[in-house]
C-alpha cells in the first residue's frame, strides 16, 4: 500500500501526565525498602515434626507501587472520559422523508400494523416516534406491534460504552431520499443483485462474457446518479457490486465517497473467508452450508404484507446437502445471515503461525515472518512476549468483541433516533402498487420504474416486489446505516492496528468455478493483508445487499461509522498501555494514514 500523510487523532486531546519512565518500581519507591507480606502455610496435623516458619508481619499500609497503580488507573479513566467529552455532538442531517410524507411511505414502519396497501397505522407510528424522541423504555413498551416479531434492541443503543466515543458524536450523511435519483439507482442495483444471486462471482470480471452481468453493467452506467466504484469513470464488470465508503462531509450533503484500498483487487470474496481457521487443537472449515436457488421470499403480495406487519415467516430455508466455498451472491448472503465470527476467524488466521503437516491447523505466515504490526513493542523486547493481557491474541479478540457491541450501538442509534429510513423490501412494495395498482402518489424515480432490472424481476416473479433470500426478510429496525457493515468495519480497523497490513498474502486462492467444493490458485495483482481486511469488512456488509435487505448507501456509511468507533476505542486503549509504544498506526478506508 502506498504511504499517505499521517494523521494524529490526539492532536486536540489531553494525555495523562504519566510518562512511561515515571511508574517503575525503583522510581516509585525512591530507593526505600518495603516489607512484603509472605503467606506461610502451617503444617497440617497429619505431618508432625515440621515446624511452621514464623509469619512475617503484614503492613497495614498499601505498597507505594500499588497506590500509584491505583492512582494511575483513576487518572487514565478520568483523562479518557474528559477527552471524549470534549468531542462535540455531531450534526445529524436527515433526508426529510419523515416530514415530507404524512403517510410515512419514506420511513421504516415494518413490524407495526399496516393497512391493506401496506401503509402504517398512524397511531402506531406516533407511538414509535414518541419512543424515539424520549428514549424511554416505557414508551417503547407502548408501541403496538402488528405481529409476533419484535423491534430489535432500541434501548440497547443508549448503553454507555466505557471505551470510545458516544454514538451522538459520529456524523454520517443523510440517507438518499425516497424520490431521489440516487435512491432509484440503488434500487436498480439491488434488483440486479437479486437477479444475479446465482451467477458465479468469478464472472464479475472485466473479460466476462456473461450476458446478464454485461446487461447490469450497461444499465448502471446509464443512471443519473450511481455512486458505486468505477474504473475510468464507468462501472465495469470488475467493479460491479464492489464496495465504496461514504464519509460525512460538511461541504457535500451527499458525503464523500471513496473506494477502500484493495477491494477492487482480485476475487470479490476476501481471502479470510476462503481459508480454514486454525483454532488451537481444533479448526473451522471455510466451507459453508449454502441455500438452494429456490429460496426466494416476499414475491407474493400477501406474504409481503404479512412480513411488513411483523408476522413470522411461513416458509423456511432449504439448504444444499454439500458444503462449499462462498461462490455466489446467495452464498455470501447466507454466510452473513446469522452474524458469523468473521473477525475472530481472521485474527486466528493472522496470529497462528503456519507450518506443520496438517494445514487445517496452520495460519498464514511462518513464525520467522511475524505479521504483527512493526510498532508492536514486543517485536523489540529481548525478554518479554505478548499474551492475553496486552498485544496477544486474547487481547485482540477482547477488543474485537467490545468493538462489535460498540459499533452496533452506534449504528442502531442512528437507525432509531435519527434516520428511520425505508428498507428495500418496503420500497419494492411501493413499486408494486405504483405499477400494478396505479397508485400514482408513490414518487419513485423513473430511472428505476423504467429499468430493465425491474422489468426482468417482474417477468421472473410475477410482481414488482423485491425478492428476498431470508424468509423473514430484514430485521425490524430501519435500513440506514447498516449494522452488519459497522461490525465488519470495526473488525477490519482493529485488526489493521495490530497486524502488518502491507504484507502480501502468499498463495492466494479462489473457488474452482467448475467445482465450488475445491479451491484453485488465484493469479493477478498482489493481495495484501490490509486490502483483504478491507474486503472482509465490505463482504460482511454488502452480503446483506445480495440478500435484498440493504441499500448500497447503508453499507457505505456504516464503513465510515465502524471505523470511527474503532479509532475512538483504540485512542482510549492507547492511554492504558504501559509498554514503550509508538502508537497504533494503520490505513483508513479512504487511503489516509492514522496514528493513535
Cell numbers describing residue 135? 428514549
pLDDT over 80 at 7, yes or no = no
Domain 158-595 indexed as CATH 1.10.443.10: no
Closest alpha carbon to 543 in 589, 489, 493, 484: 484
Q: How confident is the model at residue 58 (pLDDT cuts 50, 70, 90)?
A: low
Please, what is the average pLDDT of the chain? Answer: 91
Compute the average pLDDT of residues 210-217. Answer: 98
pLDDT of amino acid 63? 86
Compute the average pLDDT of residues 165-182. Answer: 98
Spatial distance between the Cα atoms of 462 and 167, rounded to a whole number of angstroms: 42
Burial class (CB in 10 A: 0-12, 13-18, 19+), 22: exposed
pLDDT of amino acid 1? 40
pLDDT in tens, 281-328: 999 999 999 999 999 999 999 999 999 999 999 999 999 999 999 999
52-56, 210-214, 384-388, 501-505: segment of lowest average pLDDT: 52-56
Spatial distance between the Cα atoms of 523 and 503, rounded to a whole number of angstroms: 17
Q: How confident is the model at residue 38 (pLDDT cuts 50, 70, 90)?
A: very low
Closest alpha carbon to 462 in 310, 303, 241: 303
pLDDT in tens, 247-261: 999 999 999 999 999
DSSP label at residue 273:
G
Residue 94: other Cβ atoms inside 10 A: 15
pTM: 0.90
pLDDT over 60 at 2, yes or no = no
Closest alpha carbon to 411 in 516, 489, 314: 489
Compute the average pLDDT of residues 112-127. Answer: 98
pLDDT of amino acid 57? 62
Cell numbers describing residue 32? 526505600
Residue 250: other Cβ atoms inside 10 A: 8
Compute the average pLDDT of residues 447-470. Answer: 98
pLDDT in tens, 8-26: 554 345 544 443 333 333 3
pLDDT over 70 at 594, yes or no = yes
Residue 254: other Cβ atoms inside 10 A: 15
pLDDT over 60 at 49, yes or no = no
* Residue 507 main-chain phi, psi, to 5 deg: 55, 55
Q: How confident is the model at residue 368 (pLDDT cuts 50, 70, 90)?
A: confident
Q: How is 12-66 classified by DSSP, letter by letter? A: TS---S--TTTSSHHHHHTT---------PPPPTTSTT-PPPPPPPPPSSPPHHH
pLDDT of amino acid 12? 44
C-beta of residue 288 within 8 angstroms of C-beta of residue 334:
yes
Residue 251 neighbours by CB under 8 Å, 6+ apart: none
Compute the average pLDDT of residues 136-144. Answer: 98
Give the residue extent of every domain in the chain. 158-595
Q: Angle, to 10 degrees, between the axis of helix 452-461 and the axis of helix 181-195?
A: 40
Amino acid at each position: 500500500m502506498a504511504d499517505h500523510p499521517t494523521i494524529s487523532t490526539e492532536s486536540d486531546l489531553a494525555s495523562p501526565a504519566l510518562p512511561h519512565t515515571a511508574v517503575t518500581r525503583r522510581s516509585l519507591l525512591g530507593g526505600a525498602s518495603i516489607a512484603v507480606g509472605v503467606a506461610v502455610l502451617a503444617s497440617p496435623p497429619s505431618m508432625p515434626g515440621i515446624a511452621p516458619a514464623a509469619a512475617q508481619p503484614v503492613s497495614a499500609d498499601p505498597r507505594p507501587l500499588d497506590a500509584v497503580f491505583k492512582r494511575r488507573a483513576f487518572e487514565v479513566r478520568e483523562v479518557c472520559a474528559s477527552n471524549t467529552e470534549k468531542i462535540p455532538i455531531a450534526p445529524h442531517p436527515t433526508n426529510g422523508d419523515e416530514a415530507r410524507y404524512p403517510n410515512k411511505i419514506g420511513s421504516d414502519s415494518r413490524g407495526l400494523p399496516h393497512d391493506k396497501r401496506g401503509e402504517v397505522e398512524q397511531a402506531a407510528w406516533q407511538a414509535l416516534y414518541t419512543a424515539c424522541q424520549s428514549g424511554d423504555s416505557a414508551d417503547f413498551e407502548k408501541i403496538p406491534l402488528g405481529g409476533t416479531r419484535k423491534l430489535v434492541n432500541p434501548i440497547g443503543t443508549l448503553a454507555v460504552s466505557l471505551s470510545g466515543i458516544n454514538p451522538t458524536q459520529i456524523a454520517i450523511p443523510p440517507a438518499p431520499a425516497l424520490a431521489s435519483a440516487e435512491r432509484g439507482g440503488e434500487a436498480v442495483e439491488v434488483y440486479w443483485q437479486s437477479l444475479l444471486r446465482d451467477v458465479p462471482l468469478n464472472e464479475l470480471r472485466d473479460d466476462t462474457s456473461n450476458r446478464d452481468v454485461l446487461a447490469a453493467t450497461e444499465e448502471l452506467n446509464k443512471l443519473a446518479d450511481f455512486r458505486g466504484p468505477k474504473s475510468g469513470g464507468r462501472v465495469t464488470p470488475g467493479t460491479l457490486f464492489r464496495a465504496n465508503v461514504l464519509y460525512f462531509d460538511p461541504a457535500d450533503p451527499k458525503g464523500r465517497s471513496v473506494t477502500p484500498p484493495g477491494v477492487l483487487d482480485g476475487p470479490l470474496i476476501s481471502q479470510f473467508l476462503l481459508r480454514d481457521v486454525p483454532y488451537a487443537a481444533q479448526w473451522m472449515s471455510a466451507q459453508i452450508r449454502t441455500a438452494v436457488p429456490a429460496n426466494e421470499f416476499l414475491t407474493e403480495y400477501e406474504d409481503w404484507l404479512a412480513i411488513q406487519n411483523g408476522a413470522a415467516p411461513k416458509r423456511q430455508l432449504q439448504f444444499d446437502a454439500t458444503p462449499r466455498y462462498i461462490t455466489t451472491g446467495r452464498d455470501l448472503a447466507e454466510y452473513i445471515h446469522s452474524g458469523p465470527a468473521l473477525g475472530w476467524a481472521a485474527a486466528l488466521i493472522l496470529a497462528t503461525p503456519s507450518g506443520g503437516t496438517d494445514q487445517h491447523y496452520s495460519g498464514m505466515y511462518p513464525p520467522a515472518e511475524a505479521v504483527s504490526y512493526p510498532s508492536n513493542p514486543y517485536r523489540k523486547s529481548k525478554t518479554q512476549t505478548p499474551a492475553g493481557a496486552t498485544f496477544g491474541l486474547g487481547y485482540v479478540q477482547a477488543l474485537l468483541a467490545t468493538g462489535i457491541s460498540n459499533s452496533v450501538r452506534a449504528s442502531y442509534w442512528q437507525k432509531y433516533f435519527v434516520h428511520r429510513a425505508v428498507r428495500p423490501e418496503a420500497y419494492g412494495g411501493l413499486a408494486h402498487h405504483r405499477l400494478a395498482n396505479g397508485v400514482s402518489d408513490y414518487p419513485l424515480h423513473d430511472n428505476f420504474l423504467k429499468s430493465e432490472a425491474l422489468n426482468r424481476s417482474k417477468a421472473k416473479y410475477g410482481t414488482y416486489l423485491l425478492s428476498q433470500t431470508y424468509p423473514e426478510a430484514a430485521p425490524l429496525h430501519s435500513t440506514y446505516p447498516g449494522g452488519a457493515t459497522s461490525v465488519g468495519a470495526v473488525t477490519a480497523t482493529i485488526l489493521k492496528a495490530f497486524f502488518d497490513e502491507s504484507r502480501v498474502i502468499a498463495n492466494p486462492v479462489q473457488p474452482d468455478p467448475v467445482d465450488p467444493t475445491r479451491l484453485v490458485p488465484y493469479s493477478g495483482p498482489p493481495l495484501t493483508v490490509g486490502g483483504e481486511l478491507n474486503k472482509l469488512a465490505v463482504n460482511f456488509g454488502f452480503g446483506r445487499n445480495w440478500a435484498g435487505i440493504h441499500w448500497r448507501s447503508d453499507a457505505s456509511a456504516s464503513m465510515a461509522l465502524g471505523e470511527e468507533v474503532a479509532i475512538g476505542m483504540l485512542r482510549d486503549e492507547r492511554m492504558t498501555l504501559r509498554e514503550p509504544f509508538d502508537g497504533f498506526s494503520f490505513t483508513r478506508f479512504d487511503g489516509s494514514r492514522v496514528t493513535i
